[in-house]
Amino acid sequence: MTTLPAKCGWPDYILRDFSFADFPRGARVLDLGFGSGDQLRELIASGCRAVGVDFDHGLARAGRGAGLTACQAAAEALPFASGVFDGVVCKVVFPYTDEARAVAELARVLRPGGTALVSFHGLGYSLRYLLTGRHWRRRLYAARVIANTLFYSVTGRRLPGFWGDTIYQSERRLRRYYRQTALECRPTPAPRFLGAPVFIYHTLRKRE
């Protein structure tokens, strides 16, 4: 069973019993934003035919150099045919994407009846940084994420430059995207900070 690593510094908010490798042997699974490749390796070890994609050219090269099936691409423009994956795994990638397009691409490459296991940053992630961050840089990061997300929620656009690189996700926006892309959502309750979700965990199924 895989969990988000404790070294992220948020151990009280991580669901350690949420598995990102809950797929049958032989399933064709996409690891969207595979990063260091640890999750991709676990999927392969569990018998999945797993493929990784990451926006970072260096990580994609490193993955291929380590013998993984991996490529470079943006979450908003995946280089795969429609309906080719039985499953998709995506850990905290959406804060750095165009949410609506990324959800649409995830749904497009997932076959009808397929499952996606996805985690996101919620408002509580930024609130905790803003109110408990030990360094001003972390508090500034949290402030600009909150400001950018509020602007995005109202206008559908991000703030320019430095202020607009990251947003947190909300259940309301995500569910709107799911309705538009034939995805059914089963949320998993997770710890909150000041009543706001820190990490959001969704199990998604594409309607047949």
pLDDT tens, position by position, 152-182: 989 988 899 888 889 999 999 999 999 999 9
Is residue 9 over pLDDT 60? Answer: no
Whole-number pLDDT of residue 79: 97
Q: Into how many domains does the chain fold?
A: 2
**Residue 141 and residue 46 share a domain:** no
The string of pLDDT tens digits covering residues 33-83 is 999 999 999 999 999 999 999 999 999 999 999 999 999 999 999 999 999
Give the residue among 202, 149, 155, 206 at the shortest CA–CA distance from 174. Answer: 202
- Residue with structure tokens 């990061």? 141
Whether 91 is in a domain gets the answer yes
**Residue 29 and residue 10 share a domain:** yes
Mean pLDDT of the chain: 91
The string of pLDDT tens digits covering residues 15-39 is 777 888 899 999 999 999 999 999 9
Tokens standing for residue 185:
């959502």
**Residue 10 and residue 98 share a domain:** yes
**Residue 58 and residue 90 share a domain:** yes
Q: What is the pTM of this model?
A: 0.89
Whether 138 is in a domain gets the answer yes
Whether 1 is in a domain gets the answer no
Whether 15 is in a domain gets the answer yes
What CA–CA distance (Å, rounded) separates 193 from 30? Answer: 31
**Residue 142 and residue 65 share a domain:** no
| Whether 86 contacts 59, CB under 8 Å | no
- Average pLDDT in the 93-99 region? 93
Which domain, by its residues, includes 159?
123-168
Q: Please report the sign of the dihedral spanned by the C-alpha atoms of residue 177, residue 152, residue 197, residue 36.
A: positive
Whole-number pLDDT of residue 156: 86
**Residue 195 and residue 136 share a domain:** no
**Residue 66 and residue 163 share a domain:** no
**Residue 10 and residue 113 share a domain:** yes
The string of pLDDT tens digits covering residues 122-151 is 999 999 989 987 888 989 999 999 999 999
**Residue 151 and residue 72 share a domain:** no
**Residue 159 and residue 69 share a domain:** no
Which of 79-91 are b and which e, b meaning 16 or more Cβ less than 10 Å from the residue's Cβ? eeeeeebbbbbbb
CATH number reported for the structural domain that contains residue 44 in this entry: 3.40.50.150
**Residue 77 and residue 146 share a domain:** no
